[in-house]
Amino acid sequence: VKSIAVLTSGGDSQGMNAAVRAVVRSALFHGLEVYAVQRGYQGLIKDDIRPMDLRSVGDIIQRGGTILQTARCKEFLTPEGQQLGAENLRKRGIDGLVVIGGDGSYQGANKLSKLGIRTMGLPGTIDNDIPFTDYTIGFDTAVSIVVDAINKLRDTMTSHERSSVVEVMGRHCGDIALFAGLASGAEAILVPEVPYDLDDVAARMSDNFQHGKRHSIIVVAEGVGSGEDISRQITERNGIEPRVTVLGHIQRGGSPTHNDRILASRLGDFAVRQLMAGDSGKALGIVNGELVATDIDKVVNTKKPFNREMYDLALRLSQ
Ligand code: ATP
């Protein structure tokens, strides 16, 4: 490849900017031309594409969100939309594309790969729901935000001897709830991957209160149900009325942690090197600290395995 482009797509996540910066700077370092596509696949179809230089990505490594903005684009689901997108790249001589996003964005990248544009997908989502990578870009920051929020809740819960239900993001993947729950000593963690027993949760809560516990935190991934519902069902069982906190989009904002910045930087540079080596249709990730490239077809057709060992540990430590 001589000329590549980068875009961000789907839900944003902290560290997307660090990834864009790494792609742009690494490409320029290797003597490639590099372009940015604004607003994901929508910008690709609308031809919203501009050249980037070293300074275009200055002062963004520490910023949340994405300077390239992101969008969901229905038109790109059609073969005509995909053709148009590929043509808009080709007419500028762009033959490689780095897509930073989630599962859906990967499928779009795969379609472009089949149309002859070399593509690389980077996992940009807070949910950590992408297989063949231990972590996605933004996950570490999102977990830190949840842990910080729970620390604050704990202070006031302990003063008042109350309990809290904290609803966090994660429709199909409970990793934010799992990691934040373990890190903040939650009494129960409800995730979509493991069937839960509210009778047991409610009984443990009353038992713990009777044995001197002065607060309790229940972390609920949104895919399980709303925090309000869970809280009501707990009250029906044990009479305890947990306060509900829904963290919502706060989990997607703010400055990325050093882990996310480093992950984004490594993956962005890896994407450029893979494109230069002639590879295409790959999703990039990190497994046991090593950079790995996996066929997008395989990634989008595999469910992320759940870390049951960590889940059981959290339960054991929460008595
Ligand atoms: P998140 O996990 O944060 O939701 P995502 O990348 O999965 O991110 P989607 O909205 O699913 O977010 O996908 C982003 C965009 O990718 C879509 O708006 C669409 O333009 C494109 N896309 C999704 N699925 C496909 C597909 N099967 N073929 C082509 N393009 C697709």
pLDDT, one tens digit per residue, over 171-188 is: 999 999 999 999 999 999
Strands 118-123 and 49-51: unpaired
Average pLDDT, integer, range 2-9: 98
For ligand 1, atom 28, the nearest C-alpha belongs to 108
Strands 163-168 and 33-37: unpaired
- pLDDT computed for residue 57 by the predictor: 98
Ligand 1 midpoint to CA 107 (Å): 7
Catalytic residue among 47, 53, 127, 207: 127
Contact by Cβ (8 Å): 124, 64? no
- pLDDT computed for residue 61 by the predictor: 98
Q: Is the pLDDT of residue 283 over 90?
A: yes
Contact by Cβ (8 Å): 284, 269? no
Nearest to 65, CA basis, from 250, 294, 293, 252: 252
Please state, as a whole number, how many other Cβ atoms lie within 10 Å of the Cβ of residue 74.
9
For ligand 1, atom 24, the nearest C-alpha belongs to 104
Burial (Cβ within 10 Å: 0-12, 13-18, ≥19) of residue 256: buried
Average pLDDT, integer, range 153-167: 90
Q: Is the pLDDT of residue 319 over 90?
A: no
CA 196 to chain centre: 24
Best probe residue, ligand 1, of 42, 46, 76 (max atoms within 8 Å of C-beta): 76
Query: Is the predicted ipTM greater than 0.90, yes or no?
Result: yes
- pLDDT computed for residue 211 by the predictor: 86
Best probe residue, ligand 1, of 7, 37, 46, 72 (max atoms within 8 Å of C-beta): 72
Tens digit of each residue's pLDDT (9 = 90 or more) over 246-271:
999 999 999 999 999 999 999 999 99
For ligand 1, atom 18, the nearest C-alpha belongs to 72
Task: Verify whether residue 47 is a known catalytic residue.
Answer: no
Q: Which residues pair with 99 in a beta bridge?
A: 7, 121
